Structure 1
Amino acid sequence: MPRVMWLLNHSAARRFEIPMLKACGFNEIFLPKIYPVDPSFRSASLDFSEDRNLTIPPSDLAVLNAADWYGDPGREAWAVANRHFSLLFFIVHTAEALGSISAHFQGAAIWRAYGLERTNSYSTIRKHFTHGLKTVERMGDRFWFGEAYKDLHAVEDDFLRRRTVYLPLGLSSADLQEGWTGSDRRVFFVCPDIGFNPYYRAIFDEFKRDFAGLPYAIGGSQPIAVGDPNVLGFVPKELHERHMREMRVMYYHSREPRHIHYHPFEAVRAGMPLVFMADGMLDELGGISLPGRARTVAEAKSKIHRLLQGDTRLADDIRKSQKVLLDAMRPDRLESAWRKNLTHVVERLQANKSGQIGLPSRKKRIAIILPIVYRGGTLRAAKLLAEAISEGAEQAGEGAEVVLLHLDLPSAYSPKDWSDLPSSVTTRTFNWNVLDKAEAKTAMMFDGHADWEPVYEKYLAVDDGIKQLGDCDLWIVISDRLSLPLLPMRPAILAVFDYLQRHYKVSHVEEQILLANRLASHVLVTTEFTRQDALQYAGIDPRRVTKVPMLVPEKGTATRNGQGAEPTHFLWTTNLAAHKNHRRALAALQIYYEVYEGTLSCHVTGFGSSEITKSQLPHLDGLNRVVAASRALRQRVKFLGELSDEAYRRELSASAFLWHPTELDNGTFSIIEAAHYGVPSLSSDYPAMREMDRQFQLGLSFMDQEDPEDMAAQLHAMEVNLAERQRSLATEKQLADQSVRRLAPHYWHVIREFL
């Protein structure tokens, strides 16, 4: 028989359902070892006893035991679960848990439904936790609504009704116990969480009002103390059972037609007279003609008063007749329903699996979106990511189609920008559409999310001419530069290379950028420094952030410098961004030439670099005067602007070294490309560059980017010790070991979990 994951911690339910599963032949059952610190789990406990019956590797069991199954247990835990288990029982405590089960579990998942108050429904809960997205629907026939009482599904939506399986809840033991005395002349009423739960507070206040003047004791856990000496709070099991034996009568207030508590059955089993209100679930379980039933509060109060006064005839009549309530909860009466219905679930699961054999399936399609116009390193990173995903899917035998989307701006991109993409990656243009609430709801409805409700005033939607990117199964946005929330038609991953806005004022939409991070299904980063920013600055749950290896351009046609002409310049690759450290860099160059009498010219390249001394940007203001006042800077520093790939490579290959004086970022591809040409690099000393140096074994030289004098000294040292610096470079084999092909599986391992 299949193994079962029973992902609940309710003590009483476990005492019934685990033996019931075993009676049906399911002998290997996993029980969770972590549950939320939450008052709603007042009846929860841990049970390790089933671990010894599991015939799975101890290391796999350790992974399962360490996972939080009420949140997101993580990819490793799901991999273990799918290797060993085919059946899963769960309750919905968080949206994260529901989405995680739907996205990852490959067997049959049963949402265990024990009933709710009449004002609520499981359909409402589902909409609340999923915002109307097709979370459980995407499981298809593998999802079941496991009702614990007949006809709970009657008030649910069509999807839950169609997926209903009846698995009745009972008692672990329905045998009457001897020993009730009734010597304590009080009415016993159970009402937990009075101090903070408005629902139970209203019940408590109603009880005190309706039964004023009668002696009473209130059972149930009270996380917040209640100012009433008759409220007992949490008591040990032995004392609770003693109350059942000694108190004169229990009163059960509920008229709920689709929910019932355990304690009325505990009272009946203990032989304690039960007075209960009509029209609740006890009527459905055989209580409709019992002498303990009361149609009105006045009738209930009258019966309780008689019992407190010692009416033994009424007590005997109630005690003898109420045994029928236990009959509906007896395991032997419920086993046939469990056996029949679980057999149906397993047969449907097996039929689904066998039906999939040999059927052609559409390749998954993944969209990589450039949300704004990017050039330089970020554009290169997007293309490398597309290549890595395509390559990773191919290596795993799970081929995927990758589409790279860029804004429909002919002035920003030309066909040549995409000519180096592999044939497995296609491109597509798009424009952003801004939708108001009504438009967003309509778009989601047409995509099949009929119950989705907008949370924000406006949303971004992709206008690509193909159903707003609805033909793709997963969206990956390069960076987090989204001015509004993304319409959540598909799971969306952000590839975030840095959080410069934490360190510099680089955007007027910082609040929206942070919101984009928090709304994303997952976030990919390539350095530990950025991962820490994601956690500490963006406030992302660690389980939704994955650090993947940095991808860099391949060697291509690069050849290492031989014994050619002596180099006459070094290369500074930059742009106009504030974090590029232009002011200190020019000060360092001036010291290098005027103090150290440096002999190498500096060639400045990169998008916008020809405008550095002309720009009116605040961080560049006045640099024209700095250059004009220094003869050395005017003669030795050449601002070349953005070069073609061919021209840049000629400049690089003829360079003595590459200079990277940036203040802070996520690293630069340029040092890798330089290494391919046998050109060493001098870099600012910040975390991302140290990480790159370790990953690619680059043998970088470092300088203090906040100290122009040290920067100048290190420039001079590079010139003087150039041969030594060249010998310290990473070998071609070391660089090849970090190729896209080698690193692609790391990316696919993450991406595939969201398909």
Structure 2
Amino acid sequence: MKSQLEIPSNFYEPLTIAVVMPHPWKGGFFRVACMLANMLSELDFRGRPISVILSVPPDYEYETTFLKPNVRVNSFLIQQVKSDDERFVSEEARNRLCSEGNELPVVSAVTTYPLRDTRLVDSIDGYILLNALFYEGVFVSTKPTAIYMADLIQRHVPAIYGAESNYDSPNWTADRNQRATLKNAHAVFTTTPGTKQDVLTYGGVSKSKHVDFPLFFIDIAEKHINSPKEVVGQFTDLLTGEKITPGESPYFLWVTNASPHKNQVNGLDMLRSYYDQGGDLDCYICGPVTELLVPGASALPYLQSVHAKIKSLGPLASRLKIVSYVNEGFYLELLRKAEFLWHNVLYDNGSFSIIEAKIVGTPILSSSYPQIKYIAETYDIGCEFFDPRSIEDGAASLAQMSRRKTRSKPTNMAINQVDFRKNLLSVLELMFPIKN
């Protein structure tokens, strides 16, 4: 008779989790991935340490500044597989995906090489996907999968997927794949009440699979606050080719991208009204792929409407300065020197930019919508709000902020580490349930 508890053979082996970025998105999205990977690497789960791989798209350019040294980085590739291939598709997933007689295409990490020495997909014990949006099919794996859902913007701003109503168009096919992937996951977690509701009602996720998370972010300004400020040189305005030295003339900063949910068309009308009424601040525009806002840079219908708006400004367009995407140091200095941050959006899961503005002491003018108000209240961020669908209110709010002369002191901000760890362990419990 055994006198002690029998220990499983893999008890001391690390549990290997891949945090997966399916798309080469920049900025806050990458930092979210880093935050998840870092926190996972500090945990142990039922006595096992966790080995973490951050899986990014091939040729993705990234900085290791925000990653802990023990987090490995490698490429993530998917490939379509047959729905009856038991190596990749569980019986439960197969029954769910084919239950309505309309078999969906499926993809899996067939050619993922997270460990260069073994090149084995089997090296992974589980996946945490960020947003899980795949054009090629529904993500499946015989390994447990969890999903962090930042938002389901298309439910509220369908224009982000184009004007066509064809459900078989690539974007709406990806939406169908995403929602099926959500239903198929072992766990789904969100950070705001609005996105949670979207995941449950639009995504069809069972409440038993959902985990509430505190908002999490990496304070990119922390290392800059108590150190000498970086000297930001000139940048080239993409609209005119002119060399601009930030701070030579006063400006506010519009952080955006090229998606319709960022409200560029209404925003440009607000700017026209603001300048027509004597507005005296330039507007610097920065963010991922904002170079596509330059007239002639894209043939996409929505962006062409943005281009037309910019051209219609005539001489007033000289007040716009498109900076495009910049590194964190440059961005923080642009934010510090700005008279205020303009967060102009129709709908999303909130913005890290308002947190970053609070950290460096820059006033904030933000669209009014549930997620951003939740974040502002949670972190005591003193935003001024405007209606993003009202040109009159937007222009008046810009004018009011332009007259504001008070700034806050820079401050440190931190996430709730205790809740973050606790809820991350809850996700792992759903991914790896104890079998009877």
Q: Identify the TM-score tier after normalising by the shorter chain.
A: 0.7 to 0.9
The answer to whether the aligner puts 1:715 opposite 2:398 as a matched pair is yes
- Alignment partners' CA distance in 2, 1:629 and 1:684: 24
- Alignment partners' CA distance in 1, 2:9 and 2:281: 66
Unaligned runs of 5+ in 2: 162-170, 229-246
- Alignment partners' CA distance in 2, 1:567 and 1:471: 55
Moved more, 622-631 or 640-649: 622-631
Q: Tell me the C-alpha RMSD between the 2 structures.
A: 2.9
- Alignment partners' CA distance in 2, 1:468 and 1:396: 24
Amino acid at match of 1:557: K
- Alignment partners' CA distance in 1, 2:393 and 2:178: 36
Partner of 2:425: 749
Partner of 1:523: 188
Partner of 1:262: none
Partner of 1:131: none
CA contact (8 A) 1:548 1:746 kept: no
CA contact (8 A) 2:19 2:129 kept: yes
Aligned residues: 385
The answer to whether the aligner puts 1:573 opposite 2:255 as a matched pair is yes
The SS at the match of 1:511 is: helix
Amino acid at match of 1:497: A
- CA deviations 1:625-660 (Å, max 9, x no partner) are 432333453221101111122322221121111111
CA contact (8 A) 1:366 1:472 kept: yes
- CA deviations 1:238-296 (Å, max 9, x no partner) are xxxxxxxxxxxxxxxxxxxxxxxxxxxxxxxxxxxxxxxxxxxxxxxxxxxxxxxxxxx
Amino acid at match of 2:106: Y
The equivalent position to 1:538 in structure 2, one of 174, 197, 203, is: 203
CA contact (8 A) 1:390 1:400 kept: yes
Give the deviation of 1:559 after TM superposition: 2.2
- State the TM-score, normalizing by the size of structure 2: 0.80
- Alignment partners' CA distance in 2, 1:515 and 1:374: 22
Amino acid at match of 1:503: H
The answer to whether the aligner puts 1:473 opposite 2:121 as a matched pair is no
The equivalent position to 1:362 in structure 2, one of 5, 10, 13, is: 13
Partner of 2:379: 696
Question: Residues 696 and 713 of structure 1: is their aligned pair in 2 closer, same or farther, counting only changes over 3 Å?
Answer: same
Question: Residues 374 and 468 of structure 1: is their aligned pair in 2 closer, same or farther, counting only changes over 3 Å?
Answer: farther
The SS at the match of 2:139 is: coil
- Alignment partners' CA distance in 1, 2:56 and 2:403: 45
Give the deviation of 1:556 after TM superposition: 2.7
- CA deviations 1:369-397 (Å, max 9, x no partner) are 11222223322221222123224x16998
- Alignment partners' CA distance in 1, 2:81 and 2:258: 33
Partner of 2:328: 645
Partner of 1:113: none
Question: Residues 475 and 357 of structure 1: is their aligned pair in 2 closer, same or farther, counting only changes over 3 Å?
Answer: closer
Question: Residues 588 and 561 of structure 1: is their aligned pair in 2 closer, same or farther, counting only changes over 3 Å?
Answer: farther
The SS at the match of 2:222 is: coil
The answer to whether the aligner puts 1:374 opposite 2:39 as a matched pair is no
Give the deviation of 1:428 after TM superposition: 1.3
- Alignment partners' CA distance in 2, 1:647 and 1:453: 46
Partner of 1:254: none
Give the deviation of 1:420 after TM superposition: 2.5
The answer to whether the aligner puts 1:634 opposite 2:286 as a matched pair is no
* 1:119-518 → structure 2 map (5 Å cutoff): 354-356=5-7, 361-391=12-42, 393=43, 399-408=49-58, 410=59, 413-414=60-61, 416-437=62-83, 440-442=85-87, 454-455=94-95, 456=98, 458-462=105-109, 463-465=111-113, 469-482=121-134, 483-505=136-158, 506=161, 507-509=171-173, 510-518=175-183
- Alignment partners' CA distance in 1, 2:21 and 2:3: 38
Larger relative contact order (CA 8 Å, sep ≥ 6): 2
Question: Residues 560 and 628 of structure 1: is their aligned pair in 2 closer, same or farther, counting only changes over 3 Å?
Answer: farther
The SS at the match of 1:656 is: coil
CA contact (8 A) 1:561 1:678 kept: no
Give the deviation of 1:672 after TM superposition: 1.3
The SS at the match of 1:367 is: strand
Larger radius of gyration: 1
CA contact (8 A) 2:127 2:145 kept: yes
- Alignment partners' CA distance in 2, 1:352 and 1:511: 54
- Alignment partners' CA distance in 1, 2:332 and 2:106: 42
Amino acid at match of 1:478: L
Amino acid at match of 2:388: Q
- Alignment partners' CA distance in 1, 2:30 and 2:375: 19
The SS at the match of 1:354 is: coil
- CA deviations 1:76-111 (Å, max 9, x no partner) are xxxxxxxxxxxxxxxxxxxxxxxxxxxxxxxxxxxx
- CA deviations 1:662-682 (Å, max 9, x no partner) are 110001111111222111211
Q: Which has the higher helix share?
A: 1
Amino acid at match of 1:479: N
CA contact (8 A) 1:430 1:464 kept: yes
The SS at the match of 1:355 is: coil
Partner of 1:89: none
CA contact (8 A) 1:395 1:745 kept: no
CA contact (8 A) 1:580 1:661 kept: yes
- Alignment partners' CA distance in 2, 1:473 and 1:585: 46
CA contact (8 A) 1:365 1:474 kept: yes
CA contact (8 A) 1:553 1:672 kept: no
- Alignment partners' CA distance in 2, 1:717 and 1:560: 31
- Alignment partners' CA distance in 2, 1:616 and 1:646: 32
Unaligned runs of 5+ in 1: 1-346
- Alignment partners' CA distance in 2, 1:672 and 1:531: 21
The answer to whether the aligner puts 1:667 opposite 2:319 as a matched pair is no
Partner of 2:225: 559
- Alignment partners' CA distance in 2, 1:627 and 1:589: 10
Question: Residues 364 and 621 of structure 1: is their aligned pair in 2 closer, same or farther, counting only changes over 3 Å?
Answer: same
Question: Residues 642 and 382 of structure 1: is their aligned pair in 2 closer, same or farther, counting only changes over 3 Å?
Answer: same
- Alignment partners' CA distance in 2, 1:468 and 1:357: 23
- Alignment partners' CA distance in 2, 1:641 and 1:699: 27
Amino acid at match of 2:121: L
> Percent identical across equivalent pairs?
24
- CA deviations 1:277-321 (Å, max 9, x no partner) are xxxxxxxxxxxxxxxxxxxxxxxxxxxxxxxxxxxxxxxxxxxxx
The answer to whether the aligner puts 1:612 opposite 2:278 as a matched pair is no
The SS at the match of 1:523 is: strand
Partner of 2:270: 588
- Alignment partners' CA distance in 1, 2:214 and 2:3: 37
- Alignment partners' CA distance in 2, 1:657 and 1:648: 13
CA contact (8 A) 1:561 1:679 kept: no
- Alignment partners' CA distance in 1, 2:53 and 2:325: 27
Question: Residues 686 and 368 of structure 1: is their aligned pair in 2 closer, same or farther, counting only changes over 3 Å?
Answer: same
Question: Residues 442 and 625 of structure 1: is their aligned pair in 2 closer, same or farther, counting only changes over 3 Å?
Answer: closer
- Alignment partners' CA distance in 2, 1:454 and 1:360: 31
CA contact (8 A) 1:657 1:679 kept: yes
- CA deviations 1:548-606 (Å, max 9, x no partner) are 011122243232899xx8971111111111101000111111111111x1221110001
Give the deviation of 1:513 after TM superposition: 1.5
Question: Residues 359 and 518 of structure 1: is their aligned pair in 2 closer, same or farther, counting only changes over 3 Å?
Answer: closer
- Alignment partners' CA distance in 2, 1:633 and 1:386: 45
- Alignment partners' CA distance in 1, 2:86 and 2:388: 50
The equivalent position to 2:337 in structure 1, one of 648, 654, 658, is: 654
The SS at the match of 2:398 is: helix
- CA deviations 1:452-507 (Å, max 9, x no partner) are 89445643121123565322222111003034233331111111111112123322
